[in-house]
Structures are given as structure tokens and as C-alpha cells.
């Protein structure tokens, strides 16, 4: 789970939303629905365009005040950038996921850096310039309606259907493995619970960007300590702390039961999730970004130190998403596919070198050079994969 909102957004459609209160064959009613849908999409596009133009105006001001060295103005503009983006980012995520990720990549550190005293002028200048390019890319995407025009491609839809099956299979395995994990907790079997903790996590980590789209469930299942209020903290990491820090399962039955209930609810939602091609690939990129931020630093599994288990599962999930679209990407850019395959192969080889039995070595066994190399290889793979999202 990310503390910042960088998760890939999905269009969530439940069965009831698909069917409504009943079926109809009335062509006039269908026409009304079509017009309403079209109007809604137009309004969303207008909001995105207006918001992006406001961001561009603020980046221009930011540059001027950066040159002038006005720390107070820079801090104030950082807050305005955050406020402006927050007002329309939810409209960007579903239809322009690649551009959303790009804007977030530069905007978040720019906002954070603008509040520092003293600020780093060179770093902020580079971030601001990159943000301007990302915003212009978003504006171009809105103008051309690239993603919307390609959504009906049957080949892309077939790939989406294949990936959806993968997601549902993984979530079912998550339910099954978590059931065994919860059973071990109820029985007070510490060692078995520790073993099943890691194996359960794998299935969640493979589909994490999609799971994160259900924000309420993601927080209940995967929040780390201090991500939420103490009295609201539940899920895997609460139990992780009990197992590895408290060395006791006392009082954990209620958390185990809640966890199982939440992963079952997640599975039900995933069975009716609706996806778009570029969203899936952007999600694969975000999965790698997640691995390169919270996992490679040891932040995610701070008590059990099984960060490499999570990290490898992130890579597996990212590769699964990529593989469903690989043939389509290859038709458009064979050299890019070759590059992505090479990056994944290098990353796989590096991670496998840290295998220990059917798992991985503890994060505490890694040297600084190891984490640096892993991080660089993840970034390189994510960078190549991000190019694929733009051509789907």
C-alpha cells in the first residue's frame, strides 16, 4: 500500500451497475443512456483540460519565483499545485493512466521539495521542467482522445479478458491461502502462521495496483503501521507485527477474521472489475515503481523482512500484465518488446540470485550495493515498460 496516492485507477463496475434494476430493449432508453454517457465523458475531458492548463500556469509562476529566489512564494505555489491536481486527478486516472503516472512522478517530489528550507533550486528546476512536459503530454492525449478511440479494439479486448482471468485466479488463491493462514492463527501455530504469511502476501502483491483501486479494502488489508489511525489498523501488517515483534498471537483472532472477510470482499469486487488496455500496462509500471520504493528499502515488511518475497511477486505481476499485451505491442514496436524482455530477464536473474530454498533471503542480509543494483534494474525495466502504455 502506498502512502501517496499513486495507484492505478480502474473503472469499477459491479453487476448491479451493469444490469441496473432490470433489462430493457427500448431503443429510445438506450439512446438516452448513450447520450448521457457521452455527455459525462465530454464533461470529464473538459475538466481534465481545464485542470491541466491551470497546472501549466502554476508551473510557469513556479519557474519565475525559482529564478527570483522567493522561498515563500515557492512554498505557496507548491501547495497550489497540490490543490489544483487533487481537484481533477480522479478524472485523469481512468482514461489517461500513462499520463497520470508521468505527472505524479514529477509533481509529488516537486511539492515535497518546495516546502523544504533551504530548497534545492537545481532539483526543483529539473522537476518543474519535466512536469511541464508531462502536463503537455496529458493535454495532447485529451485533445486526440487516443485512449478512448482504441478502447473498442477486439484484439485489445481479448488481452484484457485474459488479464482479468489472471487477476481473478490470483485473488481466489489469495482467499485460499489466507484461509489457511487464519486457521494457523486460530490454532496458535506461530511457525505455520509465519510460513503462510509470506505465501499469502505473494498473491496480493501480484495484483496490488488493481487491489489498490478499492481504496477502502486496500487500507484494511495492506496498511502499514502509521498509514492509518492506530484504532483502525488491521490487515496483514498488523498480524505481521504480532508474529515477529510481539511474538504472540494473543488477541489476533479478530484481526485474522477481519482479514479473511476483507480478502473475500476484494475477490468479489475483482470478479466484476472493468479494465482498459493502457490502465493494465500503467498498472504494471506502477507495480514496479511500488517494488522500487517501499520494497527495495525494506519499508514494506519492516517486521518480517520478507521484502524480497513481495518484490519478486510485484515483478511477476508486472510481467503477467505485460505478457497479455506483448503480441500487440510487438506488432507496433518490436524493438521495444525486445528491450522490455531483456530488462525483465536481467531483473529476474538478479532477484533469483537471492533465493533461499522456496523463498528469499531476509532483507537484513542485503548490502547497500545489492539494494542499489536492484533499484536501478527495477527503474530501468519500469522506464521501458512505460513506453508500451503510450502505444496501446
Same domain, 69 and 173: no
Q: Are 260 and 271 in contact (CB under 8 A)?
A: no
Same domain, 81 and 178: no
Determine how β-strand 355-356 pairs with β-strand 273-274: unpaired
pLDDT digits 0-9 by tens, 252-262: 999 999 999 99
Same domain, 280 and 264: no
Is 228 inside any structural domain? yes
Same domain, 190 and 137: no
Is 39 inside any structural domain? no
Of the candidates 88, 117, 150, which is a domain's last residue?
150
Q: How many CB atoms lie within 10 A of CB 2?
A: 18
Most distant pair of Cα atoms in the chain: their distance = 66
Same domain, 258 and 174: yes
Confidence of residue 226 (pLDDT cuts 50, 70, 90): confident
Rounded percentage of the chain residues whose pLDDT exceeds 90: 62
Domain containing 250 equals: 165-273
Contacts of 142-151 with C-beta under 8 Å, sequence gap 24+, read 142/45, 142/48, 142/49, 142/52, 142/96, 143/49, 145/45, 147/95, 147/96, 147/276, 147/278, 148/41, 148/95, 150/277, 150/392, 151/276, 151/277
Same domain, 49 and 146: yes
Is 40 inside any structural domain? no
d(CA 207, CA 270): 10
Is 131 inside any structural domain? yes
Confidence of residue 144 (pLDDT cuts 50, 70, 90): low
Same domain, 169 and 266: yes
pLDDT of residue 184: 98
Interior/surface letters 64-77, b for 16+ CB within 10 angstroms, e for the rest: ebbeeeebebbbbb
Q: Could you report how far apart the first and last alpha carbons of the chain are, in Å?
A: 27
**Burial class of residue 250 (count of CB atoms within 10 Å of its CB; 0-12, 13-18, 19+):** exposed
Of the candidates 123, 150, 177, which is a domain's last residue?
150
pLDDT digits 0-9 by tens, 153-189: 788 889 999 999 999 999 999 999 999 999 999 999 9
Same domain, 269 and 280: no
Q: Are 144 and 99 in contact (CB under 8 A)?
A: no
Determine how β-strand 359-360 pairs with β-strand 355-356: antiparallel
d(CA 387, CA 382): 9
Q: Quick one: angle between helices 334-352 and 307-332, nearest 10?
A: 160
Same domain, 132 and 237: no
Kindly state the average pLDDT of the residues 277-286: 82
Checking if the pLDDT of 295 tops 70, the result is yes
Of the candidates 99, 115, 150, which is a domain's last residue?
150
Is 110 inside any structural domain? yes
Checking if the pLDDT of 206 tops 90, the result is yes
Cell 532477484 sits at which residue? 351
The DSSP letter of residue 230 is G
For the full predicted model, state whether its pTM sits above 0.75. no
Range with the poorest average pLDDT among 60-69, 274-283, 382-391: 274-283
Q: Is 20 left (phi over 0), alpha (psi -120 to 50) or beta?
A: left
Same domain, 63 and 122: yes
**Burial class of residue 211 (count of CB atoms within 10 Å of its CB; 0-12, 13-18, 19+):** buried
Q: Which residue has the higher pLDDT, 212 or 377?
A: 377
User: What backbone phi and psi angles, to 5 degrees, belong to 229?
Assistant: -65, 145
Grid coordinates given for 206: 501480484
Closest CA to 226 of 61, 68, 3: 3
pLDDT digits 0-9 by tens, 35-61: 344 455 566 778 898 999 999 999 999
Cis peptide before 165 (omega within 30 of 0): no
R_g over Cα of the chain: 22
Q: Are 307 and 196 in contact (CB under 8 A)?
A: no
Same domain, 113 and 192: no
Is 156 inside any structural domain? no
The count of domains in the chain is: 3
Is 109 inside any structural domain? yes
pLDDT digits 0-9 by tens, 93-127: 888 888 999 999 999 999 999 999 899 999 999 99
d(CA 312, CA 281): 18
d(CA 189, CA 60): 60
CATH number at residue 379: 1.20.1420.20
Cell 481473478 sits at which residue? 168
Q: How many CB atoms lie within 10 A of CB 139?
A: 18
Same domain, 303 and 378: yes
Amino acid at each position: 500500500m502506498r502512502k501517496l496516492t499513486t495507484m492505478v485507477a480502474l473503472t469499477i463496475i459491479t453487476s448491479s451497475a451493469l444490469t441496473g434494476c432490470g433489462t430493457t430493449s427500448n431503443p429510445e432508453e438506450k439512446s438516452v443512456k448513450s447520450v448521457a454517457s457521452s455527455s459525462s465523458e465530454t464533461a470529464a475531458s473538459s475538466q481534465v483540460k481545464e485542470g491541466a492548463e491551470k497546472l501549466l500556469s502554476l508551473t510557469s509562476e513556479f519557474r519565475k519565483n525559482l529564478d527570483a529566489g522567493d522561498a515563500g512564494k515557492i512554498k505557496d505555489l507548491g501547495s497550489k499545485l497540490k490543490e489544483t491536481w487533487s481537484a481533477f486527478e480522479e478524472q485523469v486516472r481512468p482514461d489517461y493512466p500513462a499520463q497520470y503516472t508521468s505527472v505524479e512522478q514529477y509533481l509529488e517530489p516537486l511539492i515535497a521539495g518546495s516546502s523544504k528550507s533551504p530548497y534545492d533550486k537545481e532539483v526543483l528546476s529539473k522537476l518543474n521542467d519535466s512536469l511541464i512536459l508531462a502536463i503537455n503530454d496529458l493535454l495532447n492525449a485529451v485533445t486526440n482522445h487516443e485512449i478512448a478511440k482504441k478502447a473498442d479494439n477486439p484484439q485489445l479486448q481479448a488481452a484484457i479478458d485474459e488479464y482479468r482471468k489472471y487477476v481473478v485466479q490470483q485473488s481466489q488463491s489469495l482467499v485460499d491461502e489466507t484461509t489457511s493462514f487464519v486457521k494457523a492463527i486460530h490454532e496458535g501455530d506461530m511457525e505455520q502462521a509465519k510460513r503462510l504469511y509470506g505465501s499469502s502476501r505473494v498473491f496480493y502483491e501480484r495484483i496490488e495496483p488493481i487491489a489498490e483501486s478499492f481504496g477502502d479494502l486496500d487500507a484494511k488489508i495492506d496498511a502499514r503501521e502509521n498509514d492509518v489511525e492506530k484504532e483502525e489498523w488491521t490487515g496483514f501488517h498488523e498480524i505481521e507485527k504480532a508474529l515477529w515483534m510481539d511474538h504472540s498471537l494473543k488477541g489476533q483472532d479478530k484481526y485474522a477474521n477481519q482479514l479473511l472477510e476483507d480478502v473475500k470482499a476484494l475477490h468479489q469486487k475483482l470478479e466484476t472489475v472493468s479494465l482498459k488496455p493502457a490502465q493494465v500496462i500503467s498498472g504494471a509500471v506502477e507495480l514496479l515503481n511500488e517494488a522500487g520504493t517501499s520494497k527495495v528499502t525494506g519499508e514494506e515488511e519492516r517486521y518480517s523482512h520478507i521484502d524480497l518475497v513481495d518484490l519478486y511477486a510485484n515483478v511477476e505481476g508486472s510481467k503477467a500484465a505485460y505478457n497479455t499485451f506483448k503480441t500487440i505491442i510487438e506488432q507496433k514496436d518490436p524493438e521495444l518488446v525486445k528491450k522490455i524482455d531483456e530488462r525483465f530477464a536481467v531483473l529476474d536473474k538478479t532477484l533469483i540470485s537471492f533465493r533461499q530454498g522456496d523463498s528469499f533471503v531476509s532483507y537484513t542480509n542485503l548490502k547497500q550495493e545489492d539494494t542499489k543494483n536492484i533499484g536501478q534494474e527495477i527503474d530501468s525495466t519500469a522506464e521501458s515498460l512505460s513506453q508500451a502504455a503510450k502505444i496501446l
